[in-house]
């Protein structure tokens, strides 16, 4: 009787075995987002040109060299400022979605050292004109300069 139960158990275990030998490889979503994207904003006398140079670091990991060239006009005087945000830990979370959440040392042409947390979820899509773009609301927070947190909605067009 014990042998019969053991044989049945072996047959049952063999029948329940998964036929797949190799698990499905993880899809790399990062490669579809790679490229150069740009946009220009005007807000309260400040004109800013935003440029993202997006490259892939590894599977589902992006690196964004974010450059923001701004021009402030005060009493007829134009003051240019360039800020560079090296975002190196951006995660592609789906085919057309990625997440930014990191603290970066910002390089800027005027002012002192700046350390800021940058966060947001970007969505890549193709606009009505057939041009790929990225829509994102970026939150700038935990600034070492003491500036209040703020959010900015941007629509980057692929160049």
Supply the CATH number for residue 65's domain. Answer: 2.40.128
In a domain, 38, yes or no: yes
- Residue 74 belongs to some domain of the structure: yes
Lowest-confidence pick of 13-22, 75-84, 122-131, 149-158: 13-22
pLDDT band at 2 (very low <50, low <70, confident <90, very high): low
User: Is 60 part of a structural domain of the chain?
Assistant: yes
- Structural domain includes residue 94: yes
- Residue 152: inside a domain: yes
Identify the domain containing residue 64 by its residue range: 30-158
Q: What SS3 state is found at 9?
A: helix
Residue 25 domain-assigned? no
74-99: per-residue pLDDT in tens? 888 899 999 999 999 999 999 999 99
* 15: in domain: no
**What does pLDDT average to over the chain?**
88
What is the total count of domains within the chain? 1
What is the value of pTM for the model shown?
A: 0.80
pLDDT at 129 exceeding the cut of 70: yes
Rounded-to-integer distance, Cα 148 and Cα 151, Å? 10
């Amino acid at each position: 009787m014990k042998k019969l139960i053991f044989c049945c158990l072996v047959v049952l275990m063999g029948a329940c075995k998964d036929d797949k030998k190799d698990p499905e490889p993880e899809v790399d979503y990062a490669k579809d987002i790679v490229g150069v994207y740009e946009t220009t904003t005007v807000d309260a006398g400040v004109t800013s040109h935003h440029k993202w140079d997006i490259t892939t670091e590894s599977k589902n990991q992006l690196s964004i060299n974010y450059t923001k060239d701004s021009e402030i006009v005060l009493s007829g005087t134009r003051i240019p400022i360039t800020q560079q945000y090296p975002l190196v830990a951006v995660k592609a979370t789906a085919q057309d979605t990625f997440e930014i959440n990191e603290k970066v040392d910002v390089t800027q042409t005027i002012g002192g050292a700046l350390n800021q947390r940058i966060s947001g979820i970007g969505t890549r899509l193709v606009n009505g004109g057939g041009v790929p773009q990225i829509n994102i609301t970026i939150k700038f927070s935990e600034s070492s300069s003491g500036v209040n947190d703020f959010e900015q909605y941007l629509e980057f067009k692929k160049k």
